[in-house]
Amino acid sequence: MLEKIKSLREKAIQELEASADSNSLEEWKRTYLGKKGFVTQLLRQIGSLPPEERPKAGEAANLLRDELTQLYEEKASAIKEAERLQAAKAQAIDVTLPGRRPQIGALHPVTQTLREIIEIFSRMGFGVYEGPEVEWDEYNFGLLNIPPEHPARDMWDTLYIAPPYGKDGNMLLRTHTSPDQIRVMELTKPPIRVVVPGRCYRHEATDASHEWMFYQVEGLAVDKGITMAHLKGVLTTFVREMFGKERKVRFRCDYFPFVEPGADMAMDCIVCGGKGCRVCKFTGWLEILGAGMVHPQVLRNVGIDPNIYTGFAFGMGVERIAMLKHKIDDIRYFYANDLRFLKQFRA
């Protein structure tokens, strides 16, 4: 019996050493120390031995059980620790890996230009007002001296808002920022000096200098004694601040029903240096804004007496200014969402 115990001990210890993970260790425990395990069976056999062999065999079997139990516990905690370390290693962050750079956004070139324009006019004492993009026909046209059926409406290909919001074409996407002249004059009394930036919409076929959605900045000054000279002075100052002292500007007569007299202002095309290209439609000039003296009827429409007050107004295209500034030859780049284009304007 003692021989049997000895060889069982050797086999058990050898197998215990060979078990490398908790699964094989548990299997080992079942095999030797479990209910039907070898050591348990051995202990049961002690009672059937001749009485003189029992004490020694009993003692040896009990010692074996205690020894194997202790060895099992040591091995179990060693395996547990090894497995814990392995799991921690699998989850560990490799601090030597370079980090992922966050994508940093930047202001859109049109926004940058818009801010620059506003800053220049702020320095000349103009405040800023913002009006709605969805506008009443009455503000976009009627109060600006363009009644229904007036042929001048053809100057603005208009996107109307469908019922149930708009009825009989009385609501639209503003085609210009000029309705905000009315809104400002309804809100405040002269003296007025304000610029109004915002989006405008036109049902327009796009080309290198026309978008169906674009920004304008409206300007309005109303006070006693305002003349066309103030208008020319303010706008020339603006162009020289924005593009440099050597810039040429050109004022020509133009027609807008809400100004009298009316003008358009152009500057020499920076893209081609005035020689003529597809941006300036081969004229050497790029029209950047419409302007004029506020029509007396418009002043009357908002309750301002044109015999006491006069004013000037202008409306400029922001994308056109940005194109000149950065020598961009197609307006459609701005809203094509092409990062190769946009990344060039990181400020």
State yes or no: residue 204 binds ligand FA5 (CB under 6 A): yes
State yes or no: residue 173 binds ligand FA5 (CB under 6 A): no
Is there a contact between 206 and 332 (Cβ–Cβ < 8 Å)?
yes
Q: Which of 255, 293, 294 is CA-nearest to residue 143?
A: 294
Is there a contact between 316 and 289 (Cβ–Cβ < 8 Å)?
yes
State yes or no: residue 216 binds ligand FA5 (CB under 6 A): yes
State yes or no: residue 214 binds ligand FA5 (CB under 6 A): yes
Amino acid at 330: D
Residues 6+ away with beta carbon under 8 Å from 204: 157, 210, 211, 212
The only residue of 315, 322, 334, 345 in contact with ligand FA5, by rule CB under 6 A: 315
Instruction: Write down the least CB distance from residue 178 to ligand FA5, Å.
Output: 4
The only residue of 202, 235, 299, 311 in contact with ligand FA5, by rule CB under 6 A: 202
The only residue of 201, 256, 285, 345 in contact with ligand FA5, by rule CB under 6 A: 256
Distance CA 319, CA 325 (A): 10
The residue of the chain with the least Cβ separation from ligand FA5 equals 317
Region near ligand FA5 per CB under 6 A, out of 10-18, 183-191, 256-264, 268-276: 256-264
Region near ligand FA5 per CB under 6 A, out of 131-139, 227-235, 244-252, 316-324: 316-324
Region near ligand FA5 per CB under 6 A, out of 25-33, 47-55, 103-111, 286-294: 286-294
213 secondary structure, DSSP code? E
Is there a contact between 199 and 227 (Cβ–Cβ < 8 Å)?
no
Instruction: Write down the least CB distance from residue 103 to ligand FA5, Å.
Output: 29
Nearer CB in complex with ligand FA5: 19/158: 158
Is there a contact between 130 and 198 (Cβ–Cβ < 8 Å)?
yes
Nearer CB in complex with ligand FA5: 26/116: 116
Through-space distance between the first and last CA atoms of the chain, rounded to whole angstroms: 91
Is there a contact between 312 and 292 (Cβ–Cβ < 8 Å)?
yes
Region near ligand FA5 per CB under 6 A, out of 46-54, 91-99, 113-121, 315-323: 315-323
25-53 burial code (b ≥16 CB/10 A, e <16): beebbeebbeeebbbeebbeebeeeeeee
State yes or no: residue 295 binds ligand FA5 (CB under 6 A): no
Residues 6+ away with beta carbon under 8 Å from 239: 247, 249, 265, 267
Query: Which residues have a catalytic role annotated?
Result: 156, 176, 202, 216, 259, 313
The only residue of 75, 174, 176, 193 in contact with ligand FA5, by rule CB under 6 A: 176
The only residue of 292, 299, 322, 324 in contact with ligand FA5, by rule CB under 6 A: 292
Q: CA geometry: angle at 68 spanning 65 and 73, to 5°? A: 125
Tell me which residues touch ligand FA5 (CB under 6 A).
Answer: 176, 178, 202, 204, 210-211, 214, 216, 256, 259, 262, 287-292, 313-317, 319-320, 331
